[in-house]
Structure formats: structure tokens, C-alpha cells
Amino acid sequence: MSNHAVIVLDFETTGLSPRHGDRAIEIGAVRLENGEIVDRFQSLMNPGFAISSFISSYTGISNAQLASAPPCAEVMARFGRFIADLPLVAHNANFDRKFLVAELERLGTTPTNPMACSMLTARRIFPQAPNHKLGTLVHYCDIATDGTFHRALADAEMTGHLWLRILDEIRSRYKIAELNFSLMQQLATVAKAKIPAFLDKVARRQQPGPDQLGPPA
């Protein structure tokens, strides 16, 4: 999978649920290709109403900043073009997908991109981590950071590095050469106790059969 493009994204929002009227206020994303970040997308967006003091304190985003930001519709139209039909990754993907769908549906489109969750995957690959919050995993995996969290682009970049670290760990530990996106999606649904057997089986399937080994020397 390392040679295939993946978009890692993160939203900052006015609250927890678009069904209750919450909106996105910032989007950040990175494009991973060949095991590294090759492109970035970031923008604040004006939701059309003031955010709470809690959200402002949590994200560091002020109402003054949002007042001069482009409207959500303009930003999400550009972001829809950025992600195209590429696979998506997010930390706690269920949360980010809700806002992605809600904001794009306001533009009359429904995203069909496959999506994987780095948090659920990390729970299975790094079960011994103290917890599976993004900041904890960044420190646990010794990923370089400037200490910025709860801003969309910074979180997307850290999630991108974490995703690459997870892929490297699986390849190294289980000797799996090819990790396609559907496999990574499936991995997040396997019970933690069954992960070693599941990945051992994947590794065995990838080993060449006798007819693929060539003639004896």
C-alpha cells in the first residue's frame, strides 16, 4: 500500500454532532504517497455563527479568525476536489466522516471514499500503549512533533506519521509485503486477541507457492 495515495484528514468543529447543528470550522489534510507526505490542505471556515468559549480555548481558533475565513461551502468544494476518490484515514474516523458527509451533502454530493481509522488500528497493533489518543500514540511511537494538537493540519500530519508507523510495524512484525487499503479496513474489525493469527494468515497467503519459486539452482 505504500505506493498508493491516501488522504489523512482532520476536522476541528463547533461540537460533536452535525445532526445537532454543529459545523466544521477547520479542515487539515495530508496526502501520503510512497511512504511520505507529498501534499497538504488546510483552511479555516466560517460556520455562520459564533463558536463557544470552550471550543475557542480547546482549538485556539477565535471568532475573529472565523469571521474573516471563507464560508464552509467554499472550503469544502475545494476539499472535495483535493480528496477526489482517494482512500481516507482519520483518527477516530467515525467522527470525521460524519462531518465530511454532512458538509459535502450541503453541496449536493455524497462522498463514497473508503475510510480507515488509525485509532482502531492502533488499538490492535499497539495494545500495550497507555491509551490510544493521538497525542499519546505520537509520544509512544516516538514520532517527532512540535507539540501542537487540536489544530487540523497538525493533527492530520501526526495521524499521517502514525499511519505510516503502523504500516511499518505490521510489515516488520509479520513479514507482510503488501498492505492494501481494504486489508487495513478489515484489520480494525478483528478482535484484538485474534490479530496475530489473522496477520500470520495474511503473511502465509503472500508467500510464493512452489511453482512461483522458479527452478532449483
pLDDT score recorded for residue 212 = 44
What is the full per-residue pLDDT of the chain (217 aa) written as tens digits?
A: 445 899 999 999 999 999 999 999 999 999 999 999 999 999 999 999 999 999 999 999 999 999 999 999 999 999 999 999 999 999 999 999 999 999 999 999 999 999 999 999 999 999 999 999 999 999 999 998 877 777 999 999 999 999 999 999 999 999 998 899 999 999 999 999 999 999 999 999 988 755 444 444 4
Is-contact 8 39, C-beta < 8 A?
no
How many of the other CB atoms lie within 10 Å of CB of 31?
18
Provide the whole-model pTM: 0.92
Q: How far apart are CA 136 and CA 207, in angstroms?
A: 35
Q: E-assigned strands of 81-159?
A: 88-90, 115-117
Q: How far apart are CA 33 and CA 1, in angstroms?
A: 9
- The 10s digit of each residue's pLDDT in 74-93 is 999 999 999 999 999 999 99
- Domains, the chain, in order of start with CATH, read 6-206 (3.30.420.10)
- The 10s digit of each residue's pLDDT in 42-54 is 999 999 999 999 9
Q: How far apart are CA 157 and CA 155, in angstroms?
A: 5
